[in-house]
Amino acid sequence: MRNGFPTTSESTPGPPPGTTVLVLDAEPPAPPPRLGGLTGRARILHADEASLAGRLPLADVLLVWDFTSDAVRRAWPGGGPRPRWVHTASAGVDHLLCPELAACDTVVTNARGVFDQPIAEYVAALVLALAKDLPRTLELQRERSWRHRETRRIAGTRACVVGSGPIGRAVARTLKALGITTALVGRTERPGVHGGDDLDRLLARADWVVCAAPLTDATRGMFDARRFGVMQPSAHFINIGRGALVIEDDLVAALSKRWIAGAALDVFAREPLPADSPLWTAPGLLVSPHMSGDTVGWRDELGAQFVELYEEWEAGRPLRNVVDKERGYVPGP
């Protein structure tokens, strides 16, 4: 047991009376989380980026509702007690992990499981849109131009999905259902998953390259000029992982030089994407505003998941979705 939390199958007493949950709120118009299930069981405090550092010492639990903010990274190294548990309403944890949080006994959990299938469906929609040239069809409709074209059949094509976590596995299952031969690449080789040593070989054969990897020191900038050069000219690249996984200037160059046929990005190194970014006008690139996992009711699902995790903690059961802070993600099959 570490810091009052079970680390394997051991149980521990629940939180003491008067437990305080601090919520790092997202900026309006994003609504606060629905935490009615904690009424009478925990004291709920709220903070924004400016007040977080001052309120951290008051909290037993921190709910990072604003998962785009790096306020936790900046506030955590300060003085005073720190929450024993941090939960982020996102799959990635790169926005909050700092050396001080990684080194302490505080348990970190994430929203693993909420976004898997919605993101997989979004990727499938992008593949179909790119294969069937739907962006051009919409452009021609606005121009009232009748221009017959031939499009691509996706059944029988090949996909390389980089990232073997729940999101990557959901993407692979969904693409397979469309008749796409899919290879899954993870950190280490295991049944059904290729190791990193196979990545370049698989990229060279893929029609669709989907990046669903977590952002860590090992994966930052992994898609660069060399990797885009490995891909075949007919390939399309899709990133629904993290923006910093891609060297964006290299992607713009690869598209401009026709090294690859097209791309779709839902995540960016800087968000919102600046109006003067060359990505807006890169040839063959679809831009969407970090929305691939955000289906109707997604915030309610995130709030309900946190309440369920709190109940596990309260009952002294091992928490799900515990992040390995050294690796930067939740280990699992």
Residue pointed to by tokens 């890169």: 282
Q: Are the C-beta atoms of 47 and 75 separated by less than 8 Å?
A: no
Whether 290 is catalytic is yes
Active site (annotated) includes residue 242: yes
Q: Which of 190, 271, 308, 327 is catalytic?
A: 271
How many helices (DSSP H) and strands (DSSP E) are in the chain? Answer: 10, 11
Nearest to 309 by CA among 165, 113, 166: 113
User: Is the distance from CB of 214 to CB of 239 less than 8 angstroms?
Assistant: no
Identify the three-state secondary structure at position 113: coil
Catalytic annotation, pick one of 158, 290, 317, 320? 290
Burial of 142-172, coded b for 16+ CB within 10 Å and e otherwise, reads eeeeeeeeeeeebeebbbbbbbbbbbbbbbb
Q: What is the largest CA-CA distance in the chain?
A: 69
178, 153 contact by CB (below 8 A): no
| Upstream peptide bond of 17 is cis (omega within 30 degrees of 0) | no
State the catalytic residue, choosing from 169, 242, 248, 299.
Answer: 242
168, two tokens: 């990557």
Going from the C-alpha of 271 to that of each of 123, 277, 287, the distances in angstroms are 20, 11, 12
Catalytic annotation, residues = 242, 271, 290
